[in-house]
Amino acid sequence: MKKRIMILLTVICVASLIGGCGTKKESDKQESNQQENTQESEPEESTEQISYNAQECVELGEYMGVKLTLGTYEVTKEEIQSNIDSMLMSYPKYEDTDKTTVEEGDTVNIDYEGLKDDVAFDGGTAQDSYLEIGSDSFIDGFEDGLIGKKVGEKVKLNLTFPENYQNTELAGQDVVFNVTINKIVTKEIVTQDTVTDDFVASNFVSQGYNNVKELESGVKEQLENSKETSKKTDTQNALFEKLRESCKVTLPEGLLDQKVKEYIDQFTTNMETSYGMKLEDYLSSINTTEDEFKQQAEQMMTDSLENQIILEAIAQKENIEADEEGYAEYKKNVVTDFGFESEDALIQQYGEDYVKNAYVSDKTMDILIENAKITYEDQAESAENADSKDSE
């Protein structure tokens, strides 16, 4: 039986924001990365959820046998080649040279240690590291400070991290890098034309690849899995769009405002606990105002609520319920895929009614997709054919 997690994934990732059929939310504050479930949420006073009857909120239109047109999800040789090329770029071959003075464009092998207030900071120390001078891989002044220096020379660089550096503990701080230049090397990017079985075995064995053939097969399989996931997601999104077009939803009074507030509160908490950032600082870093953020949250929650209530109404009309065997497997899959310690932990966090409602919604979506009339076609070819017909 296929894992049915897509709808619960969408719902849980916005922290239990869609409370179907008036079930109470266990807690307003959920873990930001529920998939890992590495930390427990701080208990907060529960918010009384707004009750509603889905069938009274929706005028159902066409929902069985909906026609959908999607793009192709075939993996091409070009995509396989492009992905392999990207992987190979991360494993260049280096050869030592007799060059002794560092110049712009050189690739150097260095050891370095970063100190703040004479104490080494996390992530600031490495040995036998390769750096291309002029690549701007390091903070301003690091690479320029090595130009003109000699192989074997120890260089002291007094630098300052940028004010907007992602590590807030280092942002705007003065630091010292002690650098030893070990050698100057040449760098060669391996390509599919030059890659060998030995090279694959030396660099990709940890990923399960021992030769070129295994690398190509593995990349193809990864792309196929990724495309299959995209296909499922795109199909659901397209079906939801059609459902919102054909079904008229009237959201219960106050429900949207409640869910938007919960989302913003949750997002704010997650930013502070996971990244040490205030909401206004995060929004500033992505050039978004609080009003724009709230508008985005309102649109997202409007779509999510309408999607969920439509599914609930369809499930009620079609008498789709949680079968014991399917629901048991569903919970097992959720526990595995979202990293819960146990089914009891899942139920304790979200409540039996909520999880069961999510399963019924997912089951309803499966039925709608099974009955949908879906056409998969190459969008470029489709556009060309349309242009040809228009020109006739």
Residue 296, both tokens = 């985005």
CATH number at residue 111: 3.10.50.40
| Domain that includes residue 129, residue range | 93-188
Which of 154, 169, 188 marks a domain boundary?
188
CATH number at residue 40: 1.10.3120
DSSP label at 145? G
Q: Residue type for 331, please?
A: K
β-bridge mates for residue 178, sequence order: 113, 156
Supply the pLDDT for residue 381.
56
Domain assignment present for 256: yes
Residue 198, both tokens = 């030995």
Domain assignment present for 36: yes
Supply the pLDDT for residue 174.
96
Supply the pLDDT for residue 392.
53
Domain assignment present for 80: no
Tens place of pLDDT per residue across the chain (392 aa): 344 333 433 443 443 333 334 333 333 333 334 334 434 444 445 567 788 999 999 999 999 999 999 999 999 999 999 999 999 999 999 999 999 999 999 999 999 999 999 999 999 999 999 999 999 999 999 999 999 999 999 999 999 999 989 888 999 999 999 999 999 999 999 998 899 999 999 999 999 999 999 999 999 999 999 999 999 999 999 999 999 999 999 999 999 999 999 999 999 999 999 888 899 989 998 999 999 999 999 999 999 999 999 999 999 999 999 999 999 999 999 999 889 999 999 999 889 998 999 999 999 999 999 999 999 987 555 555 545 555 55
Q: Let me know whether 157 and 293 are in one domain.
A: no
Domain assignment present for 13: yes
Domain assignment present for 78: no
Q: Let me know whether 297 and 180 are in one domain.
A: no
Q: Let me know whether 12 and 115 are in one domain.
A: no
C-alpha 254/C-alpha 305 separation (Å) is: 12
Integer CA distances (angstroms), 290 to 106, 263, 284, 296, in order = 45, 13, 9, 10
The H or E element containing residue 296 is: helix 290-317
The count of domains in the chain is 2
Write out pLDDT tens, residues 335-387: 998 899 999 999 998 899 989 999 999 999 999 999 999 999 875 555 555 45
Which of 138, 165, 188 marks a domain boundary?
188
Which of 148, 170, 188 marks a domain boundary?
188
Supply the pLDDT for residue 44.
47
Contacts of 237 (CB under 8 A, 6+ apart): none
